Amino acid sequence: MAYKSLSSWLSLAQHSPWAIPHFNVSTTDQVQTIVEVCVEHASPLIIGVSEGEVDFIGYDVIRDVVTLWRDKTGLPIFLNADHHHSLESAKRAIDAGFDSVNIDCSLQSEIDNVAETKAVVAYAHSYVARKNFSRSFEVNVEGEIGALPTQSSEVMNKRVKIDPATLTTPDQAQRYVDVTGVDRLTPAVGTLHGIEPGGRNPHIDIDRLKQIAEIITIPVTLHGCSGTPTADIKKALPYLSNIHINTDLRVAYTKGLRSEIDDTTTPYKYLTPADEEMKKVVEKYVKLFMSAGKVV
């Protein structure tokens, strides 16, 4: 199919009841597993790496691996620098050739968040002009306003109380988007990073999400959806372009790894069940987000 930019895909999903899955990775075998499922189900996808994940894997390595799989399969596979907390780290991703940056200064004051995000937008949007690429290329910037109450993707041992005052208001979202010029927005609408005990994560504040999506004219992304009730995700889909999944993948991968690690010292033997467990989770979310069959 003809090349479509990430912005085009996000816009397509914005006006349809499905969303592009964003899967975080730490290793290259995880990329291969995720891509295989998305090829099988003809789904566009975004591979994400946080600052910690990319410190381990390397900016140039993940860029080359994603490029290799994109060229090999013809699938729209995009690469996002997830939760990059400063202009400095965002520049590293942009300079490495990432398709997208999630600049997350949501724990800073609104004034500081806006200033840092504006600087990233200016750098990202001028990057393409400075490089004079021969092919159509752009860097899409995702900003965050309103903070998710947890920072790490992990299985927690107690429930988290979400303070409604930390959630994003429609006015706040509109002001932030207008001032920063971001290409897509992550609001805080009740989800959290990590998984709560029993996998019973909080409900999405659908009314708040709907109001935000209607007032801003750019695509909306939702983070922290591992463990979120399926019914909530279905209700949220018309208002979303892109949904992030990380913890569920980590839990599945680790479960598979533990099943073999004591019996063998051969990496391809203990990594195979890890990837197989993760594959089931990827498949579940591709179906739930209704992104299957969108690549024709």
**Can you say which residues are annotated as belonging to the binding site?**
83, 104, 144, 193, 223
Cite the annotated binding site for Zn(2+) by residue number: 83, 104, 144, 193, 223
Q: Which of 91, 223, 279, 294 binds Zn ion (CB under 5 A)?
A: 223
| Residues contacting 187, CB < 8 A, separation 6+ | 144, 145, 146, 167, 168, 173, 208, 209, 212, 220
* Summary count for the chain: helices (H), strands (E): 11, 8
Position with the least CB separation from Zn ion: 223
In whole angstroms, the minimum distance from the beta carbon of 295 to Zn ion comes to 25
Closer by beta carbon to Zn ion, 14 or else 102: 102
Distance CA 246, CA 230 (A): 16
Distance CA 75, CA 295 (A): 7
In whole angstroms, the minimum distance from the beta carbon of 149 to Zn ion comes to 12
Distance CA 27, CA 46 (A): 15
- The one catalytic residue in 82, 232, 248, 275 is 82
Tokens of 163: 């303070």
Closer by beta carbon to Zn ion, 22 or else 295: 22
% helix / strand / coil in the chain, to the nearest 5?
50, 15, 35
Closer by beta carbon to Zn ion, 63 or else 223: 223
**Catalytic residue status for 262:** no
Q: Which of residues 233-262 bind Zn ion (CB under 5 A)?
A: 244
Closer by beta carbon to Zn ion, 149 or else 270: 149
Which residues in this chain contact Zn ion in the complex, by CB under 5 A?
A: 223, 244
Q: Which residues are catalytic?
A: 82
